[in-house]
Structure 1
């Protein structure tokens, strides 16, 4: 391996990897017990909303949900194009190989196709990354981008570092190289998620991007610090802290509420999230139990404070406190 990105393994990094590994194992067991496809759907919504909002997109979770369901949504042309690109990309996450540079270019094409003429190609001009005080990072010359990306992928293929470390290093180095004309932040965060989900599928229910969104200023500050330091140690620590926080948040919610639902109740809630006007007859067909049993479960879900009926017989169901689901 000819190239190795500069970073150090600190005691803080080792401690965080230990904590993350322990908690991801616990969450993996809970996920097996709850078996909730809705967790992945809600994570996808939060992930897409989070990564877009970091870049200044104002679309919220409700409008991202509506777009996922094929509904019309109000927003600027660029914001809707950004959202549609992100939705299309995250839907492809299980088909991509994180070690394949061609898949990176393919992913950028999906993400930015409506926004850039040369989406899916590395930039052909020099760029600087702006901040509050002007340019905070001058990216390497465009002539160096192909060789730098080749080196980065060669390192990723050869490294025996823990995926929690290698994904964070890749994320930072990608942002430092800034290989595309636009969409670099979204692509860097996506590729780290891809690496982590390839390592452990439980990461498909962990919206890391939404945690980063909540710590947005710190995220940019850490990138700036690492640029000055010339290595990514502080960024690795930041990302591992964010991952640990995301896992804890999901684990608490799954354990506290979702884990108390039966499998039939989980399916009922999922169906109502997809169609708030779904009938008891339809639920009976989907779940495979009698209409009477469906009505009993609906009553129990109301008692738990998870569902409420709005508008009587001709009304619809609402899922309360979506936060408890992930």
Structure 2
């Protein structure tokens, strides 16, 4: 029979390993009486663990939700997985400090053998630059904003926020709200899904008045007072939130957008890009238009050159200038 302290830890580990345990099964596992199990449950409750009891012939014990986070028992594999995940989390904008604090606490209590495993993985992995596809700094998203938006999605609660979309250098209209001016404006939406892509967070939501679906960058969102108003969810057309975000961002979700005439059939252009991150429009059998965007003109100028196809750029003026600069630079490189 286990000593009391060891038995309590074993009992706690069992309760945290699955949703429900009949008292008789716990007693059998720990080789004690049902009365001892009840006494041990009371001791754990005194230590702050919110253990609930469901009575009756099919009764059971389960770990409930408490007012504060009690100590959590992890097995070896779980502890190593959490530690590795927290190391990766330190590179996610908005939660670096929280992840670092949690990792420090965890590593302080890890047994030596497990700490060596975590350290071995960390030392064996080389991390590339956090930002490899743009010359613009990664946006920082407040973890509290993400949590609030996620809760509104979970509870089907209308979300109100100010949307501070930066001024665009091109003349294309925004699709977030055709009637609203550029800059800050109040938005009231039905939130449905958060999508993380290319170091950015996006909210897929439906307009309460128009019924139209839109994509909003979370780092451009400033939450306003909670609405406490529920809505009845509407099925999303097609059901693929991620593809919708990729398509919507290509045409309206970047700081800079461009329509580039490509001297090639639409199918040839589509074969060279991910169709979800650029919209290709056929003009005729030998010409098409690529609608794409990025957070800077320099990035578009580089990406369009990587198509490997002849193209023509007329707007925005800044993109024309960047393409001209790149062309002259490449010519100088071979003279």
Which TM-score applies when normalising by structure 2?
0.23
User: Which protein has the larger Cα radius of gyration, Structure 1 or Structure 2?
Assistant: 2
Q: Higher strand fraction: Structure 1 or Structure 2?
A: 2
Which TM-score applies when normalising by structure 1?
0.23
